[in-house]
Chain A
Amino acid sequence: MAVLHPLPTILTTRVRIPLASAGAYVAVVPGLRNTDAVGVLIDSIVFGCNMISTAQGVQIDLRWHNEQLTAGLVDLLAVAWPWPYPATGATGTVAIKLTRPMYLAPGDFISLGAVSTAGGRAVNDLTVAAIGRQVAAAPHEVWLPYLQDYIGPTYAINSGAAIADQSGAADLGNPFDVPLEIERMIGRVMRADPPPPWFIDTLPSPIWSTFTMRVSDHRDNFWVSRFAPLPIVCNGPDRSWILNHQLEPKGFVRVEFEGVANVADPDGFHDCRAEIGLVGYRRIQP
């Protein structure tokens, strides 16, 4: 009988994704591979970077065999949770804590790809690993994570522009024929000294209250009926709303934004935008 490692451990190969060329998609297949002789349950996927600004301009996609684990390319910081640390400055780690652990049999892997939108900023390599624990037997059902995001339009924060924006049916929804368990909604206000990368706007700052939002679903049920500042809906300090919602097949979540981009800019000319991430999972039979 295999002796299981008693502690959570880095279970897969660590993958280095060079992001030297902004806008160039880099695919790594196989990506995060289980090199153990036993199965593993992955709890988190961790991204390490030399500069946190690198992570703040990165989009990722994840696949397991023919199954999409992300809705195409998603903004890493729209789905990362808990709160990335450090938020600005030096070397940082960004993690996506899965709401249900994902099983990988021996030799199995998650393919991943990334693209940097860092523009003219210095970019560095992204190191990715999966963390979790070994298990003696495969579970009787498999949970596949599903990550998606909605990135709102860009506004100059002192432009006086009226913010009126909403997500569409294809932005935050359930594309599957099975219920999608949506565990959390992440909301972040981002700002950038053009060009990107985008930095998470930390509380407290006048910018965070620029975007107010309300939320409804495809049946016009209001989840949030009164426009309220984004950091209140997605509550600080980890900017998340724990939903525990079962979204029916082909259903979707609608987020609407209002506000006025009329905030004194202490550092110069800045853009800002709102980002919403949904993190959840679905069940499949192994």
Chain B
Amino acid sequence: MSMNYQTGREPVTRDTTPVLLTTGVPVSIVIAGLVPGPPVVLPTLDLMNTLRVPVEVTELHFMCFATSFQPDYLELSLNLGGHSIAQWAPMAAIDVRRHAVAREVGISGASTTHRWVLPRPLIVAPNEGFAGMVRWTPLIAPTANGTVQFSMVARGRRLPGATRIARVRDIPWASGTYFPVAADGTPAPDMTFRNPFPSVLHVASINATSAVGGMLVSVARFLGVRINGPGGLSNNVIRSLVDDGATAVFGERNAIEEPHDLEPGDAHQITFYDYTAALEEPLAAAITGWREE
């Protein structure tokens, strides 16, 4: 969009108006008397494009603030209209940044901020919106009764020239799980990440991280990892390493970013082995990608 002025001012060359869709004031629940136990589902979220033009969303951010405990072990389910975007994906694992910067501890609680850079921009029509839920598993008891606040934002920009949404869109996808790792080298149960859709899932990354806001491998920890799966990285054993193998495989971004396709029904299986003497915190793993729908 260029603007020409009679005064001879230099016009802008493109419309770059940023847009941030938010859930507004964070949804909040009171946590009282919780002990480690089954997951707690936080209130549902809704985030709508209230503009009259489509919005191209490139990032989703999730912020959780808790007054009496570390807001870790968060999982996300999300959909856009009838399109599923995430199915209980661990937030720690869909954010491939160094998690040391994603968590803050302050005078009255702790917060985490997770960022999911979508593998493909997602076009959101006017009056279309996200709906989702966050599940929190209290693996560590809160130190005191308190509150949890949760919010989500979608970052992108306007598409004022778009008069209609294409029939087929790129829809992002994330799925995963938290899992404990035995201390004695016994492998954790295999995790299976299957393409649940009737169309090809374009895998953007396979991620793994410490569930507790940290890097994948602590100094005193050695992990082996094996990733099997059809197509994609290789047909058989993709990675089979011991002695800090997980760090070597996933690197500083906690992700294997080798794009490949998973046919409908096909799956990746990931096995972690922990060779450290002491039991460490659980891990989180996720697969992210996109599909045409």
Tell me the smallest distance from the CB of A195 to a CB of chain B, in Å.
22
Determine whether A268 belongs to the interface, using a CB cutoff of 8 Å to chain B.
Answer: no
Main secondary structure of the interface of A (DSSP, over half): mixed
B residues contacting A by CB (< 8 A) are 3, 5, 7-14, 16-26, 50-51, 61, 63, 65-67, 101-102, 104-111, 113, 115, 149, 151, 153, 155, 158
What residues make up the interface of A, taking CB atoms closer than 8 Å to B? Answer: 177-179, 202-206, 209, 212, 215, 217, 221-229, 231-233, 235-238, 241, 243-250, 266
Tell whether, in the assembled complex, residue A204 and residue B51 are in contact, meaning their CB atoms are under 8 Å apart.
no
**Which listed residue (B5, B9, B14, B151) contacts A232, Cβ 8 A?**
B151
* B65 pairs with A204, CB closer than 8 A: yes
Say how far B133's CB is from chain A's closest CB, in angstroms. Answer: 19
- The answer to whether A204 and B106 touch across the interface, beta carbons within 8 angstroms, is yes
Contact A233/B22 with A204-B106, A217-B17 known, Cβ cut-off 8 Å: yes
Contact indicator B108/A205 (Cβ below 8 Å): yes
Q: How many A-B residue pairs have CB under 8 A?
A: 119
Pair A223/B19 contact, Cβ less than 8 Å: yes
Q: Which residues of A contact B65 (CB under 8 A)?
A: 203-204, 209
Known: A227-B24, A249-B5. 18 other contacts (CB 8 A): A179-B12, A179-B13, A202-B107, A204-B106, A204-B110, A209-B65, A221-B158, A224-B19, A225-B51, A226-B21, A226-B23, A228-B20, A229-B25, A236-B63, A241-B18, A246-B16, A249-B9, A266-B108
| A179 / chain B contacts, CB cutoff of 8 Å | 10-13
A135 to chain B, nearest CB (A): 26
Partner of B104, one of A203, A225, A241, A249: A203
Is there an interface contact between B9 and A206, defined as CB atoms closer than 8 Å?
no
Chain A residues closer than 8 Å to B16, beta-carbon distance: 243-246
Nearest-neighbour CB distance to chain A for B148, whole angstroms, equals 11
Tell me the bound Cα distance from A17 to B169 in angstroms.
56
User: Given known contacts A202-B106, A209-B149, is B10 in contact with A226 (CB within 8 Å)?
Assistant: no
